[in-house]
Each structure stands twice: as C-alpha cells, then as structure tokens.
Amino acid sequence: MVPTFPLGYFWHLVTFADRYHRLEMYREEVLIPLGLASMVIQAVVFARAYPRLFPVNRIPWQRGAIAFGSIFGVLAWSFVVLPVAAKYRMASVQDFMLLETCFTALQFAVVSPLIALAHRSGERRAGSTVSV
C-alpha cells in the first residue's frame, strides 16, 4: 500500500487530473476510502500469493519480480482497463486505455520488485533465525 496509494493519487488526481476530467467519466469527489479498501485487498492477496507462486528459495528475486509483474499486471489490466472501457461512457476510450495501461504498467514496475525484495528479505530473516 505504501507505494501504491501515492502513485495512484498523484497519477489520477494530480499529474493527469485534467486528462481524466476531460474523459467525463469520474465523479467530482472521489471516494478515497473505496480506493484504499481495494489496495488493502490487493495487498493481502499479493502477499499471500507471492511466496506460493514464486518461492524465493527456488528462483532469483529478479525473476520472481518479472514473473509476478507480468502475470498480475496483465490480470489487473484485464480486470480494470478492458471492462471499464467496454462499459462506461467516456469522451475517449483510446485516451482512457492509454492512461490506464501506462498507470498499470508503472504500478507493477514499482510494486513487483518491492514485493519480491520483501519476500526475499523475509525468507533470509526466517532462515537465519532457525536453529537445528
């Protein structure tokens, strides 16, 4: 959540706020608690899924980060970008898809290595405290 909230906030509500406003699809007052709830759910799912899908004792953390970002980034894109573009009214589907595709790619480029490194260091700590 630590990198995701500021990234999402500044991307959507500051840096590209005018472009999103021109899409004419978002409410004037965003509901930040719903966005935070989404991030908490994702954080829990990702934290539970990562070590099961990408065991840090079997693959290098860099490879795990790339695999995680590729799989979950595409999955997130398919959950968010495609259905929203398909269902919601907006001034430009192309602009929305470009903005959200770039955001999703950036989000997973930032978050994937952090998740991989967190699990790597957690595994190292756990391994160094185990006594026989």
Could you tell me the pLDDT band of residue 126, with boundaries at 50, 70 and 90? low
- The pLDDT score that the predictor gives to residue 129 is 44
pTM for the model stands at 0.85
Instruction: Look at the block and give the residue holding tokens 């070590």.
Output: 51
Provide the pLDDT for residue 58.
84
Separation CA 36–CA 4 (nearest Å): 10
The yes-or-no verdict on residue 131 having pLDDT over 70 is no
Distance CA 114, CA 108 (A): 10
Average per-residue pLDDT in the chain? 89
User: What pLDDT, on a 0 to 100 scale, did the predictor assign at position 121?
Assistant: 73
pLDDT, tens digit, for every residue of 49-79?
A: 998 888 878 889 999 999 999 999 999 999 9
pLDDT at position 26 over 90: no
Cβ distance 100 to 80 under 8 Å? Answer: yes
| pLDDT tens readout for residues 85-124 | 999 999 999 999 999 999 999 999 999 999 999 888 766 5
Distance CA 111, CA 113 (A): 6
